Structure 1
């Protein structure tokens, strides 16, 4: 697929493009870093799971509609630095989308997650017809919570989930954030550019 067909969007520093089967090694590297997985599973994702479950699911989402998960490429270096997503529900609709991101630890603190999140939010509301975008993370994940707030989402609730093998901090719960189309327009975020 030509590059221009695989690119979902670009910002000043990021290119978000479709994943391909050739990206398995990049996903394995990303999910092998204990810092990246700390608030997710606490352990690396096995290569077989990435190759047989994770990557095929990402690729299937592209056939269901315009929303999904995109490889985040640093434009200056051309380097894979993680992914950013607007995940659709099972039916592929875009009315309610879940914002997600997972970036390599070496780029943390540079504003890439916020930049990418704002860009996909803009695309979700302006072009994909989203009415609500939501996200969740562990309550103790201060870095992710700051990204959500900087991107314009607001805190909705704290809730508790029982896990068979809970991570440290699980006892403080999970938090949900959201941004509605009306809030996006009212706050001036709609006027922003990706």
Structure 2
């Protein structure tokens, strides 16, 4: 297994977050334009930026993979956050990798999420290949859905978004493989209680 703390793609520098990234990470996650699909998800406490840095460091130490700070020039400003995060307590003993991507609105549309996501999927397959990669997104977030599809993930589940302030919101789960029975049960129990599975 390789060291995934620092990864270079064609256009991006993906690095384990450092203390100096906290402000930029908070700014990206507190921008209302980044949360048009889920306004209630917007962060409002600047201390959360520091928590993001600490959480990623802990997960890299423990799991070998976590969310990176993303830059599009060497030593440049943070323009996004993304990667794969493993479970705290796998409901089936295995769990899954949660694929995540969020970028500064100034760089949205350049394909950075797909480029970063491809590296994240590769990393997940290297670190724990038996653990599925999941993208968990809202149906009306078309951009996020297209990114998941470009990465080769397939729709595995569709149902109501439990706890969303919008009662009509629909949650989609994309996976990098066909879900087995254990994974179906785990998804339903951990994230989407009372809902059914759609096999793509």
TM-score class, shorter: 0.7 to 0.9
Gaps of 5+ in 1: 182-194
- 2-structure distance, mates of 1:94, 1:84: 22
Gaps of 5+ in 2: 179-200
Pair 1:104-2:101 in alignment: no
Correspondences of 1:68-107 after superposition (within 5 Å): 68-75=66-73, 78-90=76-88, 96-107=96-107
The DSSP-based 3-state class of the residue aligned with 1:23 is helix
- 2-structure distance, mates of 1:156, 1:6: 27
- 2-structure distance, mates of 1:85, 1:94: 18
The structure where strand makes up a greater share of residues is 1
Q: Which residue of 1 aligns with 2:62?
A: 64
User: How far did 1:77 drift?
Assistant: 7.5
- 1:95/1:81 Cα in 2 relative to 1: closer, same or farther (>3 Å)? same
Q: Which residue of 2 aligns with 1:173?
A: 170
Correspondences of 1:6-25 after superposition (within 5 Å): 7-25=5-23
Q: Which residue of 2 aligns with 1:143?
A: 143
- 1:114/1:71 Cα in 2 relative to 1: closer, same or farther (>3 Å)? same
- 1:140/1:31 Cα in 2 relative to 1: closer, same or farther (>3 Å)? same
The count of residues paired between Structure 1 and Structure 2 equals: 173
User: How far did 1:23 drift?
Assistant: 1.4
Q: Which residue of 2 aligns with 1:45?
A: 44
- 1:175/1:50 Cα in 2 relative to 1: closer, same or farther (>3 Å)? same
- 1-structure distance, mates of 2:52, 2:111: 26
With structure 2 as the length reference, what TM-score do the two structures score?
A: 0.76
Whether the 8 Å contact between 2:23 and 2:49 is mirrored in structure 1 is: no
- 1-structure distance, mates of 2:141, 2:118: 19
- 1:21/1:12 Cα in 2 relative to 1: closer, same or farther (>3 Å)? same
The structure where helix makes up a greater share of residues is 1
Whether the 8 Å contact between 2:154 and 2:177 is mirrored in structure 1 is: no
Q: Tell which deviates more after alignment, 85-94 or 59-68.
A: 85-94
User: How far did 1:84 drift?
Assistant: 1.2
User: How far did 1:166 drift?
Assistant: 1.0
The DSSP-based 3-state class of the residue aligned with 1:106 is coil
Whether the 8 Å contact between 2:83 and 2:116 is mirrored in structure 1 is: no
RMSD of Structure 2 on Structure 1 (CA): 2.6
- 1-structure distance, mates of 2:109, 2:121: 20
